[in-house]
Amino acid sequence: MILAEIPALPLHTAGKYVAAAYVVLFAIVLIYVAIMAIRLAHMERDMGELLELAEQRDPVGAANPVVADDAGAAGAASAGAASAGVSPSPEQPLAVHQESARA
């Protein structure tokens, strides 16, 4: 093997290359994080524009928005309450609406 015949670099010389490798790796990670931050900012701006368009299109839905983190639970609770003829209000938590829908 050719690699077995190549002597190892002395420690005083190899340190420069190790430091350079760490600098390059850090730069790549920093560039990646910057790109992801830019993409996130664009997505947040686009989501804001879509939310404004949705509010303009359906002003009734704007009074009771669904939070993105609770979209699955809130959507299911709203659907259950709507099928039971109960409309959720901002004053009462969704759990109350779920109980009233079951009753």
Which contiguous run of DSSP H or E holds residue 12? helix 11-57
> Residue 93 gets which letter from DSSP?
-
pLDDT tens per residue, range 12-25? 778 888 889 999 99
| Crossing angle for the helix pair 94-102 and 71-83, to the nearest 10 degrees | 40
For residue 80, give every residue at least 6 positions away whose Cβ sits within 8 Å of its Cβ, in sequence order, or none: 97, 98, 101
**Domain ranges across the chain:** 10-63, 67-103
Query: CB-based contacts of 95: which residues, under 8 Å, 6+ apart?
Result: 77
pTM of structure: 0.45
Contact predicate 88/64, CB 8 Å: yes
Tell me the pLDDT tens digit for each residue of 61-80: 555 555 555 555 555 555 55
